[in-house]
Structure 1
């Protein structure tokens, strides 16, 4: 009887996860997706850094190539100057 009272008190002391963090959606069961997204961030950032490094090299060496594929020089400069955590906005026309 006393053990049951302790368990009931312990359960009452722990708030509902959805009530504590309603905006995160952690109570919905998609923790695996969030963990994979977090673990894939370094690879995504590396790809963006590599892309922008190659873009800067193309701007220096062959700007006519960019024009041939429909990318303006100003757009390429804007994309190359972005930080690695910012999404790629450059698109071919």
Structure 2
């Protein structure tokens, strides 16, 4: 397994209706590197977004979907999602502020 730096851990934010509703509870959803651990995700969020303190990290491993095109079938790549819970006195994450 390659050594992951904190800027390689978080790939992109996940913006869905469910994740937007969870932001009122200071829970933010990110797509993360498949080999990232919970401690690496916590460290990456606290370093990338100043003023944030992470309480907990919940992760989900998503298997690739089976896709068909004619007689040929294949799978999409695996993904990993992380839901990060911030403390109540923590700063908001700016990328979600305008949404």
Specify the TM-score bucket, using the shorter chain as the normaliser: under 0.3
TM-score, normalised on structure 2?
0.21
Per chain length, whose mean CA-contact separation is higher, i.e. which structure has more relative contact order (CA < 8 Å, sep 6+)? 2
Write 1 or 2 for the structure with the bigger share of strand.
2
Rg comparison, structure with higher value: 1
- TM-score if structure 1 supplies the norm length? 0.22
- Structure showing the higher helix proportion among its residues: 1
